Amino acid sequence: MLVFILGAISGAFVLLVGFLIFKFEFDLALMTNVVIAAATVVATIIHLDSTRKQRKDRIWDINKDALLNLAHSLSLVIHASEYYSELECYRNQGINESPSIREPKDGVYENFNNNQEQVLNVYRTLMDKELIDSLESCKAQNKKISEAVDHDAINNYEAYDASLDSYKELQNKLNIFIAEMSGIKSI
């Protein structure tokens, strides 16, 4: 916005210098109309920018709680998946130690699934298409992983590792979306 205004001012200055060089005669009525037109253009640009920012702020206010709850539950699921992945690795190697990561609370996966379903079903129209696609992709991948474990196609360690990759990819996209919507990225 500032770049546009500076460009408009410098363009007007160059135009004025050009008029002076070529000895163009100024009429007061013409100059008044030019100034009014320029002010109208600047006011319209400022209004459109303000409207865009207000819309973005309203969408953030509506989505803020759902997005932050989803981000928190996703971080808990990532922590739980890391814990269980390490636990399975120790079991496969016959190590009788507990993982170095603290044990996760019960119900983190259910909480994440509930938050995920809420965003997909309730907030879908207010979210970025790329984020919704990422949520659906993560959900589909975890369903395939569960089916593969049920049919003994992969072991638990591989399942936790694969779901962990899916969750981390979703977390990156969610963090980018939250940063953009909250206005943090533009600061």
DSSP 119-177: HHHTSGGGS-HHHHHHHHHHHHHHHHHHHHHHTTSS-HHHHHHHHHHHHHHHHHHHHHH
Query: Does the pLDDT at position 59 exceed 90?
Result: no
- Report the range of poorest mean pLDDT among 25-29, 57-61, 74-78, 161-165: 25-29
Residues 153-161: what's their mean pLDDT? 85
**pLDDT of amino acid 186:** 55
**pLDDT of amino acid 26:** 65
Query: Does the pLDDT at position 182 exceed 60?
Result: yes
Could you give the CA distance from residue 125 to residue 5 in angstroms, rounded to a whole number?
34
Percentage with pLDDT > 70 across the chain: 96
Residues 73-77: what's their mean pLDDT? 95
Query: Does the pLDDT at position 46 exceed 70?
Result: yes
pTM, 2 dp: 0.73
Among 182, 179, 181, which residue's Cα sits nearest to residue 171?
Answer: 179
Query: Does the pLDDT at position 10 exceed 90?
Result: no
Residues 156-181: what's their mean pLDDT? 89
DSSP code at position 94? T
Residues 61-75: what's their mean pLDDT? 93
The residue among 145 and 183 whose pLDDT is bigger is 145
Residues 150-176: what's their mean pLDDT? 89
